[in-house]
Amino acid sequence: MVTFVVIINTIISLILFSAANKIWLMKKKLTIVADCFVAIEISTGKLLSKTPRTIYLGKDRVSNLRYEHQLLQLRIQQFQQIISLIFLGRQMWRRYLQFSPLTKSIDRRER
Q: How far apart are CA 23 and CA 31, in angstroms?
A: 12
Tell whether pTM > 0.75: no
Domain boundaries of the chain, sorted by first residue? 1-50, 54-101
pLDDT in tens, 79-105: 999 999 999 999 998 888 887 766 555
Report the alpha-carbon distance of residue 87 to residue 95 in Å, rounded.
Answer: 12
Secondary structure class of 36 (helix, strand, coil):
helix
Residues 7-33: tens digit of each pLDDT: 999 999 999 999 999 999 999 999 999
Distances (CA, A) of 37 to 34, 45, 50: 5, 12, 20
Asked if 103 contacts 97 with a C-beta cutoff of 8 angstroms, the reply is: yes
